[in-house]
Amino acid sequence: MSERVANPFAAPGVGSLYDRGRPFHHPRAIERIQAIVGAVAVDRGLDLACGTGMSTVALSNVAASAVGVDASPEMLRVARRAPRCAYLLGHAARLPFPDASFDAATCCSGVHWFDQERFYAELHRVLRPGAWVALYDHYFLGEMVDVPEFAAWTKLALDRYPLPPRNPQVGDPRSIEPPGFEPVDDEFFADDIAFTQGEFCDYQLTISTFVSAAERGTPRAELRAWLLESTEPLFAGADTRVVRFLGSITCSRRVS
């Protein structure tokens, strides 16, 4: 597919930054997903908006094979190589697979970029009856444990580098109940991750605000320098700080 996707994660150089800076939280989410849907055998799993493949590798822990699909060649260029994992350039609304090809599908922090109606219609087509779907996210809450000043820093960062636009739909796309799927269950949970200051700045460079700023022309070295300078008081000589994320999981099943 040669279509350029209006998505900052297609920007040059983002893939390596993303793979280095994002925490590998996905296996923890997959364990929770299995507890929700049941530890049923999965022959072929589909991972949409796979990015650099962290979510695909996690899915392969419970599937005989996992295929990751992403619309960004830049992300797929550095996708993680692992047994039972394969990757394909494509779009979630136009999947290049035959009908009833997969037993399960996951999508981590990507569904908000899709046209929901087309996404679910295509997902229904490529899944077998009874297949489960898990949409999961890992939200940056703007909370650093025992550092109340972090809230002011988060506002400063968003004022300086605002969020780029996402899909035009109103509301949480996970709340949609499309035809042909039935809800199974959902879960929200806290996920605390310790970062050094450098790791935290590397993580911030993967967030859409800073990715978008770089695509608009601000050099990444300048962005990282600002991050290091502005977060120095937050770390105040500490080796690491714990950042609280919100994990969310929404599971459904293809029924007709």
Q: What is the pLDDT of residues 33-46, one digit of tens each?
A: 999 999 888 999 99
Say how far apart CA 21 and CA 12 lie, in whole Å. Answer: 16
Q: What integer pLDDT is reported at residue 208 of this predicted model?
A: 84
* CA-to-CA dists, residue 54 to 155, 183, 244, angstroms: 29, 25, 20
Percent of the chain past pLDDT 90, that is, above it, reads: 77
The pLDDT of residue 174: 62
14: three-class secondary structure by DSSP: helix
CA 156 centroid distance within chain = 24
Low-confidence ranges of the chain (pLDDT < 50): 1-5, 168-170
Q: What angle do CA 201, 204, 209 make, to 5 degrees?
A: 145
Map out the domains of the chain with their CATH numbers: 8-254 (3.40.50.150)
Please count the residues of the chain: 256
Q: Look at the pTM and tell me if it is higher than 0.85.
A: yes
Model confidence over 60-115: pLDDT tens digits?
A: 999 999 999 999 999 999 999 999 999 999 999 999 999 999 999 999 998 888 88
